Each structure stands twice: as structure tokens, then as C-alpha cells.
């Protein structure tokens, strides 16, 4: 059975998980065989996780988290709840209304120039980009 093709994000997750697992293993002064014995995850499967060639299934992430006594998102970033949505999304509420001109809009700590705000407003109102 063919495996599904990995996305670039999945490839990055494999690297992150591998790094975290190796770090946790070193910190715990344990060996992979200890994990296999306690969790029942086959040694060959674990090797894939530690080398960054396989992504762990959710049930195995839970077993690994239990073994290392850490939350699952400490091992696998796919389990991290996104609590800082505000930092990842730009709130443009009110930008298309002239009465909100006094609001200060910024991007990466820099004020957005009025010309750019007008362009953003026009795009939001018309859906067209014409500089």
C-alpha cells in the first residue's frame, strides 16, 4: 500500500519531533529499548521517529509523552493548541470605514502608511487590486 505524500509541513514536523525525542532521551538518560519495553512501540518504528524518517501516530505520541512525563505537544507540535491566534492574524476590522481613521494600524511594529491603508481599504471594498 502506497503512503500518502508528505507536505513540506510534515517534513518539518519530522525534524522537530526527532530533535525533541533525542533531547528528551538524553535528558532522561534512557535508551530507545527502554521506551520499547515500556510503551510497546516497536524498535524499528521508534528508530524512524528518532531519525526523523517517520511521523508518529497520535496514539504513539501519547505513549511517548507518558514515557517522558511531558504533554504531547512537547513532542509533537501538531498537538499544540493555538492559543495565540491574535499574534498570527491581523485584525482589519473597521479598516474599510472612514470613521475609524484615527485607529493606528501597524505591521511588525511599524505604522502602516496612509497610502497603503487606502490600498488595503480599496481591496477590501472592491476585491480588486489596482495600485
Q: What is the pLDDT of residues 110-125, one digit of tens each?
A: 777 878 878 877 787 7
CATH class, domain 8-79, is mainly alpha
C-alpha cell of 127? 476585491
Helix axes 58-68, 43-51, angle to 10 degrees: 90
Cα–Cα dist 86/89, whole Å:
5
> Domain ranges in the chain?
8-79, 85-126
User: pTM here?
Assistant: 0.60
Structure confidence at residue 84 (pLDDT): 53
Structure confidence at residue 93 (pLDDT): 53
Residue 125 backbone dihedrals phi, psi, to 5 degrees = -75, -40
Count of C-beta atoms within a 10 Å radius of residue 20: 19
Amino acid at each position: 500500500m502506497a503512503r500518502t505524500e508528505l507536505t513540506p509541513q510534515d517534513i518539518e514536523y519530522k525534524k522537530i519531533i526527532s530533535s525533541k525525542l533525542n533531547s528528551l532521551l538524553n535528558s532522561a538518560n534512557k535508551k530507545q529499548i527502554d521506551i520499547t519495553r515500556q510503551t510497546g512501540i516497536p524498535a524499528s518504528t521508534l528508530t524512524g521517529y528518532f531519525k526523523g524518517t517517520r511521523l508518529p501516530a497520535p496514539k504513539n505520541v501519547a505513549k511517548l509523552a507518558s514515557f517522558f512525563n511531558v504533554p504531547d505537544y512537547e513532542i509533537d507540535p501538531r498537538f499544540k493548541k493555538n492559543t495565540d491566534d491574535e499574534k498570527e492574524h491581523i485584525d482589519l476590522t473597521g479598516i474599510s470605514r472612514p470613521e475609524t481613521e484615527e485607529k493606528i494600524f501597524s505591521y511588525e511594529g511599524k505604522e502602516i502608511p496612509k497610502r497603503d491603508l487606502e490600498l488595503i481599504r480599496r481591496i477590501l471594498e472592491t476585491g480588486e487590486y489596482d495600485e
